Amino acid sequence: MSRSLLFGLLLAALSAPADNRLTPWREGPPGAQWSAPWREANIPKLKAPARSLVEQDGRTVLNIEADAAAGGLLHPLDLAGDQPWRLSWQWRTERRLESARFATRAGDDYAARVYVLLDYPLASLAFLARQKLRLARTFYDPQLPAATLSYVWDNRVAPGTRARSAYSEQVEMLVLRGPEAPLGQWLAESRDLRADAIAAFGTAPRRILGVVFAADSDNTGERAESRFAEPRLQAGEAPQESAPP
């Protein structure tokens, strides 16, 4: 190989997009548990869902079955929030939640959802939100994020619908798939996290702290079964492939 060709290859490698910042679900043989740093994400006082890695269509996918339960699988991160990060994944759900109601306390259930945990300076939050977060970090979890993006698969409202969570003003929910989305079929998503965070909270976050793939049916008591595949988080902006904001 010539020196000029070798130099060209090295230069191309240096200028190539950053690698996926999410570890594959499983790096071991089939049947093994998920790889670190993936770990279970449960909600205190709520029943946890069943989570497993299964082989489907020649790849390893995350299967979550939530029977009157809520929770997911978390990948912690520590990335600069003012940089353009593109999160992409595929998901499918096998059944709809009949009684769920978007952005209401009684019906706050989603067959599938993806959380992105964000860090903002406390001083940037409204006084009441700041005090609530301080209390929550003191009594529940000192690592509780200051804000969260929640991409959801809803049973009633149209893609593109936004609302604050009925439980927290610091959680912005965005519907990516609605009642017209087909069941039992893989669908692809791609989101610009910086753009979505600015649209939701006014400014880019200080840090991106983690991603959670989840399902929940604790409020309605129904059963959700959903799968997730090909999670990727890469530097660089890209056209949105999923529901418009």
CATH of the domain at 159: 2.60.120
Confidence of residue 10 (pLDDT cuts 50, 70, 90): very low
Is 10 part of any domain? no
CA end-to-end distance (rounded Å), the chain = 49
Is 172 part of any domain? yes
Confidence of residue 139 (pLDDT cuts 50, 70, 90): very low
Confidence of residue 22 (pLDDT cuts 50, 70, 90): very high
E-state strands within the chain: 39-42, 50-56, 59-67, 70-80, 85-93, 110-119, 147-153, 162-164, 171-177, 187-192, 207-216, 223-235
Is 242 part of any domain? no
Report the SS3 class of residue 147: strand
- Measured in degrees and rounded to the nearest 5, phi and psi for residue 133 equal -65, -40
Average pLDDT, the chain: 84
Is 24 part of any domain? no
pLDDT score for 146: 84
Query: Which of 144 and 219 is assigned the larger pLDDT?
Result: 219
| pTM, rounded to two decimals | 0.85
Cα–Cα distances in Å, from 223 out to 14, 50, 70, 97? 47, 11, 10, 7
Total domains in the chain come to: 1
- For the cut 90, the answer to whether the pLDDT of residue 29 exceeds it is no
Is 22 part of any domain? no
Is 121 part of any domain? yes
- For the cut 70, the answer to whether the pLDDT of residue 26 exceeds it is yes
pLDDT > 90 in the chain, percent:
70
- For the cut 70, the answer to whether the pLDDT of residue 14 exceeds it is no
Q: Residue 211: which of 69, 41, 83, 58 has the closest Cα?
A: 41
Is 94 part of any domain? yes
- For the cut 50, the answer to whether the pLDDT of residue 43 exceeds it is yes
Is 160 part of any domain? yes
pLDDT score for 124: 61
Report the SS3 class of residue 16: coil
Domain hosting residue 206, numbered range: 50-235
When pLDDT is averaged across residues 110-131 and rounded to a whole number, the result is: 77
